[in-house]
Every structure is written in structure tokens, then in C-alpha cells.
Amino acid sequence: MTNLFYPSLQRQDVSVYYKSVGVFYSTYNCKSNYENVAKDCQYRCVYCDALIDECGGEPFSLDHFRPQHIFGDRFDGILKTHPFNLHLSCQKCNVLKTSDWQGCIDTESGPTYINKKGYVDRFKEDITNFLEVDHNGYVQCTSPDGPAKYMIGKLLLNRTNRVYIRKLREVKVKARKVQEMILDKQRKILDEWNSGSLSSEQVKQELEVVTELLERLTKLRKA
């Protein structure tokens, strides 16, 4: 299912982050930054892929992708407040990552993983080149060249709650498709009745079947 898990991410123009022309907010986690970073990240954790709404709707954290603890005093401190160093992270992933950094520290935009350890910058690389979500909701490493295995282990990407969330998301998408098919069938029955292709008795029988399917689907979605 295209973009159901780990969609490609793209930043808005940097100007939307300015407090005034050319000036970023001095407090990185201000409301404006949060709203814009959340939009950039499609309202999901860049690590485990959980959506904000799937976690009760409480705000996620703004993670310094290149940690403050390591980069805070480097490069004139720009990575402390530059919004492009802020990624949306659920609370658990944020705690698990904390100040961990396995990538380059000599430049402000160097490699984010070295020797298969580190993290994929979702705005620079397509993470699906390194991992995928299988039919059971587990994140699996698909490339021996990237940091997927390290990320899965370090961030516990297959913790029980996240596997459940991924499976539930897939079920809901399939349920919506089934509902659309049933409603489409219902429309076709009425069209055939209006055109005289079906008798009133046939329409009644067909609609009873459709109604039963809708009721069963509704019960499944509430379960």
C-alpha cells in the first residue's frame, strides 16, 4: 500500500520558519516550529512511523536529529535552533535516541550513519531503501548497507504497541476499501432498479445482502 508506511518527506521553504526576515525562533520548541515540523513530517514519528492521532493525539517531541549534546557548540550553534535539524518524534523514540549519534561530527551536514550505525535522515534519503513493514506489522531490514538494523534495535521499532498500530492501520485501510466496494454495489443495485433491469423483489433481496455486509463490517471496525 503506497505511502501507508514511511512515506517520503519534504521540507517546506525555510522562510516559513522565520520569526522575522532571516531570523529563526530562539526557542526551538515554540508552537510555530512544532506546527511546521509536524507538517513536514506528515504528523508522524520519523522513526517508528506512528501517527500523532494513533497515539492519543498528544503532541510528539521535536528531536534534534543531530543532538544538541554533541553539536550544540559546533558551527556557531546553528543546529540548536535551525528547524531543519528538528524532526518529529514520539516520546518513546525520542527517549531511546536521546543524544546517540554514530554519524559524522566534523561537518553540520555530513553522513548520518557510518559502518551501518546511525540514523537515516528522512529528508535526505528514502528510508524504504533500507527497511520495510511486513504483513505482520514488523519493521524489517531490507538492505545490508544502511543503518536499518541498528535503528530497529536501538529504537525498539518492533515494540508491541508499534506493531499493533501498524497492523491496525492496515486493517482500517482495507476496511475503508471494502466499505467503498459495498456502497458502490448498493448504487449499482439502485441504478439497475431505476433502469428496470431488476424487479422490486430482486432489489429487496440484493439490498438485504448489502445491508448485512455493512452491518458486519461496522461490527468489525468497532471490535
pLDDT in tens, 112-136: 999 999 999 999 999 999 999 999 9
- The total number of structural domains in the chain stands at 2
Q: Is residue 121 part of a domain?
A: no
Residue 159: partners with Cβ closer than 8 Å, 6 or more residues away? 48, 92
Q: Is residue 152 part of a domain?
A: no
175 lies in the same domain as 105: no
Read off the pLDDT of each residue in 20-37 and give the average, rounded to a whole number.
87
Nearest Cα to 84, choosing from 20, 8, 16? 16
Give the pLDDT confidence score for residue 93 in this predicted structure.
98
pTM of the model: 0.82
Q: Is residue 20 part of a domain?
A: yes
Instruction: Count Cβ atoms below 10 Å from residue 68 Cβ, excluding itself.
Output: 15
108 lies in the same domain as 18: yes
105 lies in the same domain as 187: no
91 lies in the same domain as 178: no
**pLDDT-above-90 percentage for the chain:** 65
Q: In this structure, what C-alpha cell is assigned to residue 176? A: 475503508
34 lies in the same domain as 106: yes
Domain span including residue 52: 14-115
